[in-house]
């Protein structure tokens, strides 16, 4: 693999830290850069990984395991490392995790930067439900949240080319039938959540997501039905009617949202517009454009605030994807202006932006794209945090403990 001389063309980590000193914590900046560039592990770093105490991903052909996530010393999570372990980045070298004096450290260009911890394995993981299902197949974990994914297929892909261009989610189920969920599955969900929350202090929230399901009497009705049953199942493990949770799902209409709110313990809702630019939305998300449209998606976000309240509705974006070529912004300055203007509009309606750092993942249409500079991502995180503060929005459903994927929301700790 060869890399261009990108280091000479972009501000370095230390230059970006200096530029945003006093505005953006250096650990948030480091997290962004690691998310942007990915990581690779030395053999010594992987020797520190112990599957009996750490949460691991199955490894490559050599059957090695990899950490499911890293934690920085301020508690910030670096998530979604599942897509980063293969050094897929083609424009910049990934960071290295190496062993230094028996501890794991992030290293770049020969410089030792920060100690990282491997995410702990949750107590429920090796257990079975009463039907014999491994609980590890029912729920996953990120930061301090339990995640359940009842649908393993996104039906935007049913029409070739209609999925989102940055996405490789559900790639293995494209062209196949999705799994049907029965009563046994919902009992398994209940038992897994019940078992998980026995571990004191480990979990702060419950998270549910799937790909989009378009079928039903009205668009997305079957998706709503599946979530209602799954949240009700999880809810039987809690003593209260409502519990800290967020659903990341399609853009439902108000009737569907009200049903979710009335019939389940849900407290927060996220629906991903992905890119805050109408023209780019129709290029990057053709399926979402065909069925709902950019303005329709925005409208449904706004209506969701009537149901869930200000701050309890977030809009997910894949930050940086607005610079994808050939149709995206070639100027980072213009891209930033556009994204922050749209974010400000949503913020005034009580909606927070949950940005994920775009990395050009394998099996996505954008696999060979070049992602933006670190400076861009940090400016965006700073701008989004300012919009959130200006509108007095909390981020309790999506902060560093309850998700850990969104740099602007990591900064809620210093608001």
Which residues make Cβ contacts (< 8 Å) with residue 12, sequence separation at least 6? Answer: none
* # chain residues binding ligand SF4, by CB under 6 A: 9
Task: Choose between 159 and 368: whose C-beta lies nearer to ligand SF4.
Answer: 159
Min. distance of Cβ 248 from ligand SF4 in angstroms? 9
Residue from 148, 138, 140 nearest 122 by CA: 140
Residue from 341, 211, 364 nearest 276 by CA: 341
Binding range to ligand SF4, per CB under 6 A, among 36-44, 165-173, 184-192, 198-206: 165-173
Task: Choose between 276 and 387: whose C-beta lies nearer to ligand SF4.
Answer: 276
Q: Which of 122, 150, 211, 404 binds ligand SF4 (CB under 6 A)?
A: 211
- Determine if the peptide bond prior to 326 is cis (ω within 30°): yes
DSSP state of 153: -
With binding defined as CB under 6 A, does residue 214 bind ligand SF4?
Answer: no
Phi, psi of 36 (to 5 degrees): -70, -40
With binding defined as CB under 6 A, does residue 38 bind ligand SF4?
Answer: no
Instruction: Map residue 40 onto helix, strand or coil.
Output: strand
Report the alpha-carbon distance of residue 89 to residue 316 in Å, rounded: 23
- The strand pairing partners of 270, in sequence order, are 248, 314
Beta carbons of 65 and 46 less than 8 angstroms apart: yes
With binding defined as CB under 6 A, does residue 231 bind ligand SF4?
Answer: no
Min. distance of Cβ 254 from ligand SF4 in angstroms? 20
Instruction: Map residue 244 onto helix, strand or coil.
Output: coil
With binding defined as CB under 6 A, does residue 164 bind ligand SF4?
Answer: yes
With binding defined as CB under 6 A, does residue 320 bind ligand SF4?
Answer: no
Q: Which of 32, 78, 141, 169 binds ligand SF4 (CB under 6 A)?
A: 169
With binding defined as CB under 6 A, does residue 209 bind ligand SF4?
Answer: no
**230: which 2 tokens?**
């799954």
Q: Which of 94, 163, 235, 407 binds ligand SF4 (CB under 6 A)?
A: 163
Task: Choose between 170 and 374: whose C-beta lies nearer to ligand SF4.
Answer: 170
Min. distance of Cβ 149 from ligand SF4 in angstroms? 10
- Which residue blocks in 10-152 are alpha helix, DSSP H? 13-19, 26-37, 43-47
Min. distance of Cβ 108 from ligand SF4 in angstroms? 30
CA 108 to chain centre: 24
DSSP state of 415: -
Find the binding residues for ligand SF4 in span 50-89 (CB under 6 A): none
Report the alpha-carbon distance of residue 14 to residue 20 in Å, rounded: 10
Report the alpha-carbon distance of residue 148 to residue 141 in Å, rounded: 9
DSSP state of 125: G
Q: Which of 96, 212, 256, 264 binds ligand SF4 (CB under 6 A)?
A: 212
Min. distance of Cβ 241 from ligand SF4 in angstroms? 29
Q: Which of 56, 167, 280, 319 binds ligand SF4 (CB under 6 A)?
A: 167
Report the alpha-carbon distance of residue 119 to residue 274 in Å, rounded: 27
With binding defined as CB under 6 A, does residue 129 bind ligand SF4?
Answer: no
Residue from 93, 101, 39, 89 nearest 67 by CA: 39
With binding defined as CB under 6 A, does residue 276 bind ligand SF4?
Answer: no
With binding defined as CB under 6 A, does residue 156 bind ligand SF4?
Answer: yes
Find the binding residues for ligand SF4 in span 136-155 (CB under 6 A): 154
Min. distance of Cβ 164 from ligand SF4 in angstroms? 3
Site residues (CB under 6 A) for ligand SF4?
A: 154, 156, 163-164, 167, 169-170, 211-212
């Amino acid at each position: 693999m060869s890399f261009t001389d990108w280091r000479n063309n972009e501000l370095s980590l230390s230059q970006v830290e200096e530029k945003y000193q006093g505005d953006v914590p250096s650990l948030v900046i480091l997290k962004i850069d690691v998310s942007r560039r990915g990581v690779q592990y030395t053999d010594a770093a992987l020797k520190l990984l112990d599957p009996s105490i750490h949460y691991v991903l199955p490894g490559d052909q050599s059957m090695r395991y990899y950490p499911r996530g890293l934690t920085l010393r301020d508690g910030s999570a670096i998530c979604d490392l599942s897509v980063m372990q293969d050094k897929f980045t083609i424009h910049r070298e990934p960071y290295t995790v190496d062993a230094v004096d028996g501890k794991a450290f992030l290293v770049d260009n020969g410089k030792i930067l920060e100690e990282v911890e491997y995410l702990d394995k949750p107590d429920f993981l090796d257990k079975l439900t009463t039907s014999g299902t491994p609980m590890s197949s029912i729920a996953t974990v990120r930061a301090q949240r339990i995640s359940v994914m009842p649908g393993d297929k996104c039906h935007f892909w049913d029409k070739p080319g209609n999925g989102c261009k940055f996405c490789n989610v559900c790639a293995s189920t494209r062209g196949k039938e999705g799994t049907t969920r029965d009563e046994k599955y919902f009992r398994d969900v209940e038992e897994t959540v019940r078992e998980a929350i026995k571990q004191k202090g480990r979990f702060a929230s419950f998270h549910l997501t799937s790909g989009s399901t378009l079928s039903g009497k009205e668009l997305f009705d079957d998706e709503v039905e599946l979530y209602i049953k799954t949240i009700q199942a999880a809810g039987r493990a809690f003593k209260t009617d409502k519990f800290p949770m967020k659903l990341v799902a399609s853009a439902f209409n108000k009737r569907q949202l009200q049903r979710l709110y009335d019939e389940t313990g849900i407290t927060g809702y996220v629906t991903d517009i992905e890119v805050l630019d109408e023209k780019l939305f129709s290029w990057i998300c053709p399926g979402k454009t065909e069925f709902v449209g950019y303005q329709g998606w925005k409208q449904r976000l706004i209506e969701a605030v009537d149901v869930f309240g200000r701050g309890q509705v977030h809009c997910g974006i894949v930050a940086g994807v607005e610079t994808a070529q050939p149709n995206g912004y070639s100027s980072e300055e213009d891209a930033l202006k556009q994204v922050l203007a749209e974010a400000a509009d949503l913020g005034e309606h009580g909606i927070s932006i949950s940005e994920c750092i775009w990395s050009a993942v394998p099996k996505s249409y954008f696999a060979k794209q070049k992602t933006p500079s670190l400076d861009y991502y940090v400016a965006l995180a700073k701008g989004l945090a300012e919009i959130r503060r200006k509108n007095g929005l909390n981020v309790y459903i999506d902060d560093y403990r309850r998700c850990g994927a969104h740099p602007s929301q990591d900064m809620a700790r210093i608001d």
